[in-house]
Amino acid sequence: MNEEGFRVFLKKQRRSQGTIEQCVRLTGEFEAYLSEHRVGRGLDEAHPEDLEAFVLWKKKQRKSVNSYLWAIHRYYEYTSNEPMRRMANDMRQQEIATGRGRRRSLKLKDIQGVAAEHIEKLAAIGIVDVEGVLEAGRTKEEREELSRGSGVLLDEVMELVKLADLTRIVDIKGVRVRLLYEAGVDTVEKVSRYDPEGLRERIVEVNEERQILKRHPTLVETRYWVTQAKALQKVVEY
């Protein structure tokens, strides 16, 4: 591994020093695996099946592989090895999707800015998380019924449905979902229509004004959000 060149590449992407160290270390573990188990192959000679074998090997050790795949993806982005870069990225997306399916639904109390009284009123009728909000508020008629049944104003119900819908995008949770909403990017469809650069510019502008997040989302993150949004099926009728 050309460690010095990899570090310079990551630094140009404005990665933190901690992230750079982690990327080098995790990619180095893949390199060590190749040296031991795939004699004669280094990082630049690795094949997709080598990466698949490495991931299985790590899973047998009960290791989370997402960070490894992210680091390896960055390395092959640095070396312009498109097949391996794509392979690492696709495998990571599959791992994220699988994990998301096992993940507990986000609680309404964990979304920034949701009023305690609304949480209490919805809990009284059995709705405590974003999954419950989406199930009960997909259509205009259902939202009207939810408002009548809970005592939460219709406009507030609409806001909660939009927030819940946005959390279907991987990595968009309690604080980030509030930033998107406050930026006016309040539906999955709106996210999907943005280009990543334009989305980042918009949310950085709002975040600088309102200080919702401690750090601005990166272009890599907004690119991922847009990709996710384009792939999601429409579940809410606005």
**Tens of pLDDT, residues 101-116:** 545 678 999 998 899 9
pTM as predicted:
0.59
Mean per-residue pLDDT, 21-39: 91
Domains of the chain (ranges plus CATH)? 3-102 (1.10.150), 108-231 (no CATH)
Query: Quick one: pLDDT band at residue 38, thresholds 50, 70, 90?
Result: confident
Residue 91 is predicted with a pLDDT of: 84
**Cα angle value 230/103/200 (rounded, 5°):** 40
Residue 190 is predicted with a pLDDT of: 94
Mean per-residue pLDDT, 199-208: 92
| H-type alpha helices, the chain | 3-12, 17-37, 48-60, 66-78, 82-102, 116-123, 130-136, 140-150, 154-166, 176-182, 188-193, 196-210, 219-231
Asked if 68 and 26 count as a contact pair (C-beta separation under 8 A), the reply is yes
Query: Quick one: pLDDT band at residue 14, thresholds 50, 70, 90?
Result: confident
In this structure, which amino acid lies at residue 19?
Answer: T
95 pLDDT higher than 80:
no
Asked if 127 and 136 count as a contact pair (C-beta separation under 8 A), the reply is yes
Q: What percent of the chain has pLDDT over 70?
A: 96
Identify the CA nearest to 121 among candidates 94, 157, 67: 157
Q: What percent of the chain has pLDDT over 90?
A: 49
Query: Quick one: pLDDT band at residue 29, thresholds 50, 70, 90?
Result: very high
Residue 104 is predicted with a pLDDT of: 64
